[in-house]
Amino acid sequence: MADGVARDQLRAFIERIERLEEEKKAIADDIKDIYAEAKGMGYDTKVLRQVVRIRKQDQHERAEQEAILDLYLHALGMASAPMNDNDDA
Amino acid sequence: MADGVARDQLRAFIERIERLEEEKKAIADDIKDIYAEAKGMGYDTKVLRQVVRIRKQDQHERAEQEAILDLYLHALGMASAPMNDNDDA
Amino acid sequence: MADGVARDQLRAFIERIERLEEEKKAIADDIKDIYAEAKGMGYDTKVLRQVVRIRKQDQHERAEQEAILDLYLHALGMASAPMNDNDDA
Amino acid sequence: MADGVARDQLRAFIERIERLEEEKKAIADDIKDIYAEAKGMGYDTKVLRQVVRIRKQDQHERAEQEAILDLYLHALGMASAPMNDNDDA
DNA sequence: TTAAGCGATAGTTTCC
DNA sequence: GGAAACTATCGCTTAA
């Protein structure tokens, strides 16, 4: 009966994953509903989607900019204050 | 100042969508974490993913089977009891 | 001997694809070589890659901006000159 | 004005890389077109892709087999006559 | 209503 | 081994 434990563990993992995937799907559906609602009020969902996409891109780009700035600072040996790679030693 | 309303509405839609997309992403990350955790305990994530996929497939098939059965029953004028398309009104 | 044609066609498709994939691989190798060369001259490839990535993102974002502008113009019924959906008929 | 050189070098690297990445993308698009064309003629692209993948695998395996054979021959002090990397000309 | 194009996401592979 | 790039698959949206 040694594998019973593994079996239960496995089952637990799967159930956690499936639970979360359901939640994810529910949220995706909610998003779809909002687009439908907006469309119902006369908005062009195509434009709306593009706006959302561009805003996401902006965020992403900003994050990359900051990442490269950190990279530069590191390269110059002058990282900004809390930029410790690892000095908890 | 007539467009102020539309503007606010639009902004509200976008914010609702972005909020939900963040949640969705958070959940996706949670799922990834679980796979990582399972991997850390020696499970093969490739297999694990496959299991999850197959189970989803199964659910899907079962749902289809039931849909077909309902179709038959309807065609025969003998829908099973709670066969309301939509009475949540 | 009717399937001979299909066979030849299939073979032709596969050969064209394989030829192109070889070219693609060759180019990917060239790119790798350049990074190696840059590294050999003291450049941090991590930074270099990030620069390239950001520049690509910029291009992408610009393209999206233009796409949404076109969308707006269309919505307003005032597409810029060569904005024919399709009048080559 | 000492950094002008580094700057130019860096710029040159980036441009070379970007140029190659464009070419790579163009080829990738060509490949996609071929799949689309094949699909238009009734071929199942999923199967087609699998064929290509398997053939690549085969090439890889064959190359390994030959490498092993060469290893053996070398170990025995009897490398096959023309030990050129490429004399299929 | 369905096909097809497109965008997003998930999975695989590769590099560090 | 972990992160990043690339690929393939999937699902949505849209247009015929």
From chain C, the residues in CB contact with D3 under 8 A are: none
Judge whether residue C45 contacts strand E, using its CB and a 7 Å cut-off. Answer: yes
* C-alpha to C-alpha distance for A68 and A56, rounded to whole angstroms: 19
- Sequence-ordered list of residues with C-beta below 8 angstroms from that of B21, at least 6 positions apart, any chain: A31, A52, A56
Higher local confidence (pLDDT), C85 or C42: C42
Taking an 8 Å cut-off on Cβ atoms, the answer to whether C43 and D10 are in contact is: yes
Mean per-residue pLDDT, C57-82: 85
Give backbone dihedrals phi and psi of A31, rounded to 5 degrees, phi first.
Answer: -60, -45
Q: Is the pLDDT of residue A88 over 50?
A: no
Q: Which residues of C touch A (CB under 8 A)?
A: 44, 46-47, 50-51, 53-54, 57-58, 60-61, 64-65, 67-68, 71-72, 75
Q: How many Cβ pairs within 8 Å bridge chains C and D?
A: 66
Please tell me which of the candidates C21, C30, C31 has its beta carbon nearest to residue D31. Answer: C21
Find, in chain C, the residue whose alpha carbon is nearest to that of D30: C20
Residue C45 has pLDDT above 70, yes or no: yes
B neighbour chains, 3+ CB pairs within 8 Å: A
Count of C-beta atoms within a 10 Å radius of residue C34? 19
pLDDT at B4: 86
**Mean pLDDT score of chain A, rounded to an integer?**
87
The rounded distance, in Å, linking the Cα atoms of C22 and C34 is 19
CA-nearest residue to D15 within chain C is C52
User: Does the pLDDT at position D21 exceed 70?
Assistant: yes
Question: What is the C-alpha to C-alpha distance for residues A55 and C30, in angstroms, rounded to an integer?
Answer: 35
- The H or E element that residue B30 is part of is helix B3-40
Please say if the pLDDT value at position D38 is more than 60: yes
Task: Determine, for residues A28 and B28 on separate chains, whether the beta-carbon distance falls below 8 Å.
Answer: no
What is the band of A80 on the pLDDT scale with cuts at 50, 70, 90? low
C83 versus A79: the higher-pLDDT residue is A79
Which pLDDT band holds residue C80 (cuts at 50, 70, 90)?
Answer: low
**pTM for this structure?**
0.84
For residues D3-22, give the mean pLDDT: 92
Q: Do C20 and D27 touch (CB under 8 A)?
A: yes
Largest CA distance in chain D: 63
Distance in angstroms: CA D88, C1' E5: 44
Evaluate whether A51 touches B14 at the Cβ level (below 8 Å): yes
Is C54:A65 a contact under the CB 8 Å cutoff?
Answer: yes
Burial of C19 (0-12, 13-18, 19+ CB in 10 A): middle
Q: Please state the φ and ψ torsions of residue A78, each to the nearest 5 degrees.
A: -135, 60
Kindly give the residue spans of alpha helices, DSSP state H, lying in chain C: 3-40, 45-75
Q: In B 29-68, which Cβ lie closer than 7 Å to strand E?
A: 46, 49, 53
Interface of chain B against chain A, CB under 8 Å?
9-10, 13-14, 16-18, 20-21, 23-24, 27-28, 30-31, 34-35, 37-38, 41, 43, 48, 51-52, 55-56
Q: Which residues contact C61 (CB under 8 A, 6 or more apart)?
A: A54, A57, A58, A61
The percent of residues above 70 in pLDDT, for chain D, comes to 87
Check residue B81 and give its pLDDT.
Answer: 63
Which one-letter amino acid corresponds to residue A11?
R
Nearest residue to A72 via CA among D3, C50, D10, D16: C50
Domain boundaries, chain D: 1-43, 44-79
Main-chain dihedrals φ then ψ at residue C51, nearest 5 degrees: -60, -50
Q: Tell me which nucleotides of strand F come within 7 A of a protein CB.
A: 4-9, 12-14
Closest CA to A9 of B38, D83, D39, C60: B38
Nucleotide minimizing C1' to CA distance for residue B32: E10
Structure confidence at residue B38 (pLDDT) = 94
In this prediction, the residues of chain B whose per-residue pLDDT falls under 50 are 83, 87-89
What is the DSSP annotation of D22-66? HHHHHHHHHHHHHHHHHHHTT--HHHHHHHHHHHHHHHHHHHHHH
Is there a contact between A45 and A38 (Cβ–Cβ < 8 Å)? yes
Q: Is the pLDDT of residue A81 over 60?
A: no
